[in-house]
Structure 1
């Protein structure tokens, strides 16, 4: 049986981070969608229905915390795991306020990024069983 391609959505205003995430996860066989703003995050995630979402905190207009809160309130996408990613020193508090499923402090190691995203999938599968 062929396993379906995993999909990842990444929201970050830093083009270099988007490029790194795309390169890393596409190399692992993922379908990766990147966006530099999150104003329409619910619409984007509802259309793509990814396996996981990475959300930067500092994004134009809405900001990552509010975008995650909106995702978690939407019945269609609220179960999709979301990881908050920021250089903010209060990342744990922000992740809690946002209801993020995980968080990763910038700058980050690529292996840790991969482990965290894979951890989201494992946690998601355990919650659904």
Structure 2
């Protein structure tokens, strides 16, 4: 079962994303802020990262840069989600593997997740 790390500060959105992913048989670990995400258990490895852009203590774009610059994580796919940033802004800031505009279509969201996870195995 693939493991997905979700970094989303909005509790309602985080809960919906968790429910959608768990219903699709993914294992989900969620974080409400950058600090908790960066201080996670180092031995826990994700198959996919889903990052919100605007966070209370940082930016998902900066977290994406950090992931992609870490030789242990650089091949793990990253999806950026945002209600405010455009795909062009995200592309300028980091090399994410996918972008999902909020609000999102559940089928599109799950298709993107499946594509990126299946391509990394």
TM-score (norm 1): 0.84
Select 1:112's aligned residue among 95, 108, 113. 108
Alpha carbons 1:9, 1:45 under 8 Å: kept: no
- 1:95: Cα distance to partner? 3.5
Q: Which has the higher contact order (CA 8 A, sep 6+)?
A: 2
Higher relative helix content = 1
Cα offsets for 1:22-81 (capped at 9, x unmatched): 111111221100111123545538432111110000012221110110011111111110
Indicate how the Cα distance of structure 1 residues 21 and 75 shifts in structure 2: closer, same or farther if over 3 A, else same: same
Taking only aligned residues, the RMSD between alpha carbons, in angstroms, comes to 1.8
Say which SS state the counterpart of residue 47 (structure 1) adopts: coil
1:107 match: secondary structure: coil
Gaps of 5+ in 2: none
- Residues 62 and 93 in structure 2, CA contact (< 8 A), matched pair in contact too: no
**What is the aligned partner in structure 2 of residue 44 from structure 1?**
40
TM (normalized to structure 2)? 0.89
| Off by >4 Å, runs of 4+ in structure 1 | none
Structure with the bigger percentage of strand: 2
